[in-house]
A and B are shown apart, each in its own frame.
Chain A
């Protein structure tokens, strides 16, 4: 269809399809992605934030270039008001200001961004991995495997995340008196939170991948592979998975941006990241009362949350368009049969959308 699509006259409201014959799928995707201005803008913004966050205050013991860290208390300058200014363009001592006991907000925001990005990546990796495996197994083998795995996802879907987070926070509070898990959670709060959220957010992805696999396994090319003697593993990984990768990537990016918001919500409710460590969510929930009095404590971390979420969403949007299934042969049937859709995971886990709590 890509071929005849390229010959088609553009219709009003429908973009002309640019790519020519002879490009591999990867090349097509890359080309389309690079042509998506929103996605590129998102990528640039995210890259800047990423580099800034991880180099400025250091990471895992590696020192950064910024003079303060997020725990250091220094004397209040100018009552904690941000020293950065646009005209004259100056950075100043505490560009984003200071909190009540004199910690540097720039350092805290950067540390928070690190943590939020960590949470996001961990969730993306874990949810992606489990989601793909469970979805693939249940969609490909069907039968008992499917029944058991899908009922397992049902159980996880209905157990409230907030409750699990509360239990986790309590275990982290026990420190070394509560066994290895508590010790780990106490010293790696953010990592533990990310793993935990990853362990419960994979269900959406699993359902989606199952849908994909259900329809793809009935396709001719799978039959062809099977007849030529390919093993199940080979069919799953070499034949079916590459065809589902577009849907997968899109949903992982959406899960990731929702993850930051989930972390924010949990921190607001007191069961997320705990002081003295910090995260963007914790910063704005700690400082929400400062909204009218010291707004910078609220605006800067908030700005970073919005920027990270927006850039990730736009990257995901670009990927979605780049992998747009409608320009591949299997589109129509797949979308119908699976009963699932690339964007089904869109309303995920933002804690307080009406859909979820």
Chain B
């Protein structure tokens, strides 16, 4: 095992050397660095060209420049010495600084999108696998491929037009006319009817209920201008909490496990009480506090489950912990909604909250809630765009993996010995289906920091993709090499982790290069 890792690391280093040499030469050969001066009529044209040539050392052959660069880059290997030297870009900024900033930009942009795409994709994949060849399956497949086929700059333009500009216009006077409310309700109802499955009667009934409920809620929202002053309030939290308690218990322990259900419901009750208690505390919130509160919520849940006990204490603990975590999430959501009017009327925001560009409103001031909302309104569109286009891969992959597992002998055995469908799916199938997904996820996270060139361009975020593209456009190898190094190292690192994780998750796989 250790020899395997060492050998992989050594080959990785050699590959990195070879590939970086190639990338350097390719960048140097990818264009004319002096293009912008060629057709200049400036009297000091020659002087400008000389200055640029000197800056990029164009008189030195590219292979020699590579070794100069490598000399600087090699210093990065000395830990904590701070001697890392990846050169400077044309604007004179050290690449190490530029990379640091770009990395933060890119990670804020793609992290949420990737995590959500994985979660939603896997969920959809499992559902479609369980309902293979149903309307839902075809529908999801169609949508997934449709979104996969859309060019992202197109998606971005549409999202900005309707998701930002249109929605902001709507917010000026958030009234939903009755026909619109009915239409939205009908669409939601139809979707539910398709999704739930089962007999036609049951489907129609569920769809109808959802239709009525959604329409009523929309009318209520419209009448109370809810979109301007949103909020959940303890009542909604209580109702939703009970729903969550049932759903979580259903998935994690089964409703037959009364103790687990009771634990989850108690967790909801405790959450409601705490809702009133922690409001003053939340006014002073910081990011760290939210994290600590989340941890506390989980611990409280675990505690409730432990105290309730039952024949399977672990299940109760799990159900209560997940429930209390989610109820905590609802309380947090409610608090964000309370901050919304203040954000909405902020003089920098001027009543148009959803942004089309950038990562935050310049010069905005406010507490934790305002600033978080600001990030949220800026990230929501690029996140949706990225989720839409990367959903297809995860959905299809999970579906295929799940279908395969569901036909395995041990699944049949599990069914044969009388386990409930829930146990079969959640315990036996799902976990095994996750094994190959884990490798894909590892690959994706490895490639994540490369940024998303086009998304960054259309949403005006200057991350890794922009740095890379800008380097290529100016035929400036230093930023290109910087991005390349980051991407290649993480990609290869996670590649290795993926291989190792695979063998760790599935003991039948031998590690052998």
- On A, residues with C-beta under 8 Å from B are 11, 13-15, 38, 147, 151, 154-155, 157-160, 162-164, 166-167, 170, 257, 260-261, 264-265, 268-269, 281, 284-285, 288, 291-292, 298, 302, 305-306, 308-310, 313-314, 317, 320, 324-327, 331-332, 335-337, 339, 341-344, 346-347, 350-357
Contact = CB atoms under 8 A, between A and B. Distances in A.
Nearest to A167: B30
B386 A306 contact: no
Contact of B157 (A288, A317, A337, A344): A288
Given A158-B488, A354-B386, A342 B400 contact: yes
Given A163-B472, A356-B447, A335 B509 contact: no
B451 A357 contact: yes
B26 A167 contact: yes
Interface string B142-167: 10011011111110010001000000
Contact of B465 (A14, A164, A308, A357): A357
B401 A352 contact: no
Contacts of B153: 268, 285, 288
Given A162-B453, A339-B439, A354-B390, A264 B400 contact: no
Nearest to B28: A167
Interface in B96-117: 110, 113-114, 117
B397 A343 contact: yes
Contacts of B12: 154
B450 A356 contact: yes
A269 B436 contact: no
A336 B405 CA distance: 11
Interface string B469-503: 10010000000100010011001100100010010
A284 to B, nearest CB: 6
Interface residues of B, number: 82
A288 B397 CA distance: 32
Contacts, number: 204
23 contacts: A13-B131, A154-B492, A158-B19, A158-B488, A160-B487, A162-B469, A285-B151, A291-B157, A306-B146, A310-B145, A317-B141, A325-B404, A326-B407, A327-B407, A336-B506, A341-B401, A344-B440, A350-B148, A351-B454, A352-B455, A353-B452, A354-B452, A356-B447
B478 to A, nearest CB: 14
Contacts of A167: 26, 29-30
Given A159-B23, A261-B149, 15 more contacts: A155-B18, A158-B491, A160-B484, A163-B472, A257-B149, A261-B151, A309-B149, A310-B149, A313-B149, A326-B404, A335-B404, A341-B400, A352-B453, A356-B447, A357-B453
Contacts of A352: 152, 386, 389, 452-455
Interface string B428-448: 000000001001100110011
Contacts of A339: 436, 439, 499, 502, 509
Contacts of A337: 508-509
